Structure 1
């Protein structure tokens, strides 16, 4: 397949590396000269277009691709891999029906070595739910595992599973630095501080965007804490001893 990638940040690079072995992959980037000098060139060449651009640029690129699809025609599959979806999915409604569209969230970061076996969430475009099945089958053919979620449900869940952990990691890191806790901390401290530092590997703009879009879920988490501390005894009853043991082992391996 001819796969065109729009955007050449960390995830754009990852997709190119993972897909180049079995497919012909080319890239367009606004910020550096790659294989194409314009979206028009990429659209004319590609069968599949993956948008790996930032949330600030993505709406403009989708509008341009929509215009190109009406002008140039052709059967294509187009999807983005942005982290949040509610503001994005509506922009796909303007594409012609022969272009199959959906919004996709890879549930992994740029440190992975392969797309095979990795989880992807496919978010259907309202009124074009059949397109999401086409996109889902395509991702399965690339080795991915697929789940489907409506956009607002997806964004709320991401607020909890990405936004809240980012908030926790950065908050603990800031506290540790401000209070000088590093020289006293043990393994639990090192784990949390390491995670906070790892979050900073993402661009400041992306981290700020995640925290901004997750404000409601972060506040809900803080309210959960205000209402009562977690009960270790109750939590143990909801997990098997094997799960707890394996988690403890993974916890220590993560810091090796």
Structure 2
């Protein structure tokens, strides 16, 4: 299959370029900066599409661009697409991108997709992949994609764009928000050598904050502001954090313990065996 990747110089575009080439597909990378794209294509052993009209010859197109430029990319791409051409997006949000693909590419076979992992993954094995079909034809397409991805070791789930965005508000949005605010708080303490004094729980928090801060600030800012359900979720988090902080401030050990026990009881009902997480945390943070 001939596959064109738009945004091919980005980290995920490069990841899919390598992955698809290794799986026997012919890959072309396209980007707005040909001089930047050429050495990447050479390194990956793929072709560089020097003109957007070349994308019309592809069997499949993968759009791997930031959400902020997604509509402009579709507008530029649309005149060169052909009927029934496969088009997938890799955005971390789904409602708006799927809506835009339907608007600009009604003649194509489009499908919202989200690889829920970063470019550090060596393969699909063990990683989550979400597909968001909205029509019967898209569902048929998604089932075929699901079968292929599962053969590569991926864990694939089909849900609506709306459900996807609700989940990502927690999985990505809230998790990133907590990590960034934690990093801001820790760095504000001005405690040199704090990492060497921390135990297992702190090492886990330290790893989380540092891993998030290695990422592109522009990308993370875009994710935060483009998740419409996230502000309400973060407001709820801040409200609950304030309530817990008040218990600490007031020295209310009994109420703190009561609330924590309630959380434990509720979690035990929904996730039996969750206590294994304590040992899992030690496994993740074994000293090197």
Q: TM-score range by the shorter chain?
A: 0.7 to 0.9
TM-score, normalised to structure 2's length?
Answer: 0.77
Aligned equivalent of 1:6 = 6
Structure 1 position 36, deviation (Å): 1.0
1:210 to 1:96, Cα distance in 2 relative to 1, 3 A = closer
Residue equivalent to 1:91: 100
What SS is found at the alignment partner of 2:67? coil
1:134 matches 2:138: no
Deviation digits for residues 145-178 of structure 1 (CA, Å, limit 9, x no counterpart):
4322222322122111111111111111111111
Aligned to 1:253: 283
Written as runs of structure 1 = structure 2, the 5 A alignment for 1:1-256 is 1-7=1-7, 8-22=9-23, 23-31=25-33, 32-34=36-38, 35-44=48-57, 46-69=58-81, 73-93=82-102, 94-97=104-107, 99-125=108-134, 128-142=135-149, 143=152, 144-181=154-191, 183=194, 184-212=197-225, 213=227, 214-226=230-242, 231-232=260-261, 233-235=264-266, 237-238=268-269, 239-241=271-273, 243-245=274-276, 247-256=277-286
SS of alignment partner, residue 56 of structure 1: helix
Taking the aligned partners of 2:127 and 2:60, their CA distance within structure 1 comes to: 19
Number of aligned residues? 247
8 Å CA contact 1:119, 1:145 repeated in 2: yes
Closer/same/farther in 2, CA of residues 120 and 237 from structure 1, 3 Å limit: closer
Structure 1 gap segments, 5+ residues each: none
In the alignment, structure 2 segments of 5+ residues that lack a partner are: 39-47, 245-255
C-alpha separation in 2, matches of 1:224 and 1:26: 48
Q: Mean alpha-carbon deviation: is it higher for 145-154 or for 223-232?
A: 223-232
Identify if the C-alpha distance between structure 1 residues 206 and 137 changes in structure 2 by more than 3 Å, giving closer, same or farther: same
Indicate the structure with greater helix content.
Answer: 2
Coordinate RMSD, CA, aligned:
2.3
Please give the TM-score of this superposition, normalised by the length of structure 1. Answer: 0.85
Supply the distance in 1 between the matched residues of 2:31 and 2:146 (Cα, whole angstroms). 23
Q: Residue 179 of structure 1 aligns to a residue in which SS?
A: coil
| Cα distance in 2 between the residues matched to 1:205 and 1:56 | 10
The structure that has the greater radius of gyration is 2
